[in-house]
Amino acid sequence: MNFDVTILGCGAATPTQRLRPTAQVVSVRDHYFLLDCGEGTQIQLRQYGIKMQRIEVIFISHLHGDHIYGLIGLLSTFSLLGRTADLTIVGPPELQEWLALTFRISDTYLSFPLHFIETNKSSEWIWENDFLKVKSIPVKHRMACNAYLFVEKPLERKIVKSFIPHYRLTLDELLVLKKDKPIHREDGKVIEPNEVCSPRQQVRKYFFCTDTLPLKLEDEDLIGIDLLYHEATFLEDHVKRAKETHHSTARQAAEVALFYQARKLILGHFSARYPDLCAFELEAGSVFPQVECAQEGTKYSIEIIESR
Amino acid sequence: MNFDVTILGCGAATPTQRLRPTAQVVSVRDHYFLLDCGEGTQIQLRQYGIKMQRIEVIFISHLHGDHIYGLIGLLSTFSLLGRTADLTIVGPPELQEWLALTFRISDTYLSFPLHFIETNKSSEWIWENDFLKVKSIPVKHRMACNAYLFVEKPLERKIVKSFIPHYRLTLDELLVLKKDKPIHREDGKVIEPNEVCSPRQQVRKYFFCTDTLPLKLEDEDLIGIDLLYHEATFLEDHVKRAKETHHSTARQAAEVALFYQARKLILGHFSARYPDLCAFELEAGSVFPQVECAQEGTKYSIEIIESR
């Protein structure tokens, strides 16, 4: 029942030895998703031992080179390694045109079915499977850009076994209760799920938010996120530059985390001008103490809090 | 008066931790040229401390992804770092279309003038400056592909000072001799450059030959090359596969080196299926002993042999 985020790159604009461009892997219940794909992402996947062929969906925030230039190489490698499993890409419509031309001129034929889901200018639940749903949320950058909110779907509720004989629960009744709905018996008695089930499991949420001006969106799905990755390209010393380039500072990211009542904030997308990232944690920490700077290769796990 | 080749990547098809895709820097008299540009080339340039903004011309052999997917990121980085110096790309015509579309969708504007020289289906001297000329030579791969021959232009000949009073050489005569031409005096006397000049300087040659079936081309410019980089994707154990995919084996590369009377052979473009490259040197060495496997970060220098 894992829910992890592994950072593959957290640098802005141009790759350096120290900071690779944006890419991260979200793994939920052993299913793998890639978020953005800057140049060298496939090398980072190998570096950190992530089984790249298990990636099912790639979510692309926007089309700046530091978020997509690794995509063509990654898809080619999937093919060279003989992938047959379907792959879905969620992202801006122009991606398809770019991939088609790139693969035409480089004589690349994909060995697997590739599906596209185009992002739009408004928030929407854009992808889901049995246990997870993902919302694309437009943010404010120099070009169309989407943040992605990953939300677990609630598991079936667990019925405390000793209550089954006590309430003489039938099989049909158990199925209703597992779906978190009350039973209305013919004698007028109502059995609420909370009476016979163990506490409702937490629905874990991860919000990937890059590249953007700081936004406090009125979206209740964002309240109480467990983990927020927010870009912090600059410190407050360059707040003007941040605004001009439609980026955020560490302090602004912290204010966003506070607004969404996040449990933890990971900063990333650092400008290469800052040799030392400690100042990012200090600046953000004065507003929102549960903050950490993203580190390449680090896995951030969202644990289940049963009692929540 | 350096003439060096630095290997940035010598793997085939897909980048691994061990082998990066094709890219190398040729430096002649402190001028820099890039040969091919697989994914991650800009990271390799930084890794090996090569001042990337000094690259003047990029020569692209062909459009397979492992030879070009790093080009878009490299050009973007040039711009982000504020390059203003002209850059020339020599390569297949479709490159321009791909770069134009990529930069359009990724909202990338180059900060420097970019020039294209399109390669053709026949050999030609495709680029030159004061001290160097480069010939594009079509080879046989699954798509149009060019090898590149780098040839130094001869320096002016150096006149041995003691001969100037001895032959009573005038300024005009010195200029003629420096251009390696004889003087015809009115009295019928002929002074040959070899009489009064120090030995003619060697014209150094480097031949970059990837990806291709083994070819023995009837081109006298190729005879006596100082350094040959030849692809050896496979060993003889996969000679059939090499032929099918239009690649070469180590032994075939050695036979090509022998045919061109090369002084030294560097093998590269290794398939990731071979964990140990010793076998490549062994196989090629039995045919052509002056062989070495390319190593990333290694600089191969062509020294001047005055007495040649």
Copy the structure tokens of residue A277: 């990232």
Q: What average pLDDT does the segment A118-130 reach?
A: 96
Contact B15 A69 (CB under 8 A): no
Q: Nearest CA to B58 among B107, B122, B19, B8?
A: B8
Question: Cα-Cα-Cα-Cα dihedral of B303, B304, B306, B308, to 10°?
Answer: 80
Q: What average pLDDT does the segment B186-206 reach?
A: 91
* Per-residue pLDDT tens digits for B285-307: 999 999 999 999 999 999 987 64
Q: Which residues contact A148 (CB under 8 A, 6 or more apart)?
A: A35, A59, A61, A90, A134, A135, A136, A137, A207, A208
Q: What average pLDDT does the segment B20-32 reach?
A: 97
User: Nearest CB to A64: which of B42, B65, B106?
Assistant: B106
Q: Nearest CA to B210 among B40, B33, B60?
A: B60
Which sequence spans correspond to the domains of chain A?
3-155+201-301, 163-196
Residue B308 pLDDT > 60, yes or no?
A: no
Contact B76 A69 (CB under 8 A): yes
Distance from CA of B47 to the nearest CA of A (A): 7
Phi, psi values for residue B95, rounded to 5°: -55, -40
Strand order of the sheet with strand B114-118? B114-118, B87-91, B55-59, B31-35, B23-28, B3-9, B299-301
Q: Which residue of A has its CA nearest to B63?
A: A106
Copy the structure tokens of residue A185: 């018996």
CATH (residue range B3-155+203-301): 3.60.15.10
Best to test chain B binding among A105, A109, A111 (most B CBs inside 10 Å): A105
* Per-residue pLDDT tens digits for B90-131: 999 999 999 999 999 999 999 999 999 999 999 999 999 999
Q: Which residue of B has its CA nearest to A65?
A: B106
R_g of chain B computed on alpha carbons: 22
CATH (residue range A3-155+201-301): 3.60.15.10
Residue A304 pLDDT > 90, yes or no?
A: no
Contact B98 A94 (CB under 8 A): no
pTM value is 0.92
Contact B101 A101 (CB under 8 A): yes
Q: What's the complex ipTM? A: 0.91
Q: What average pLDDT does the segment A278-291 reach?
A: 97
Residue A201: the pLDDT is 80
Mean per-residue pLDDT of chain A = 95
* Per-residue pLDDT tens digits for A53-83: 999 999 999 999 999 999 999 999 999 999 9
User: Is the CB of residue A204 less than 8 Å from the CB of residue A152?
Assistant: yes
Distance from CA of A55 to the nearest CA of B (A): 17
Q: Which residue of B has its CA nearest to A79?
A: B14
User: Nearest CB to A39: which of B73, B95, B142?
Assistant: B73
User: Nearest CB to B105: which of A43, A63, A105?
Assistant: A63
Contact B15 A97 (CB under 8 A): no
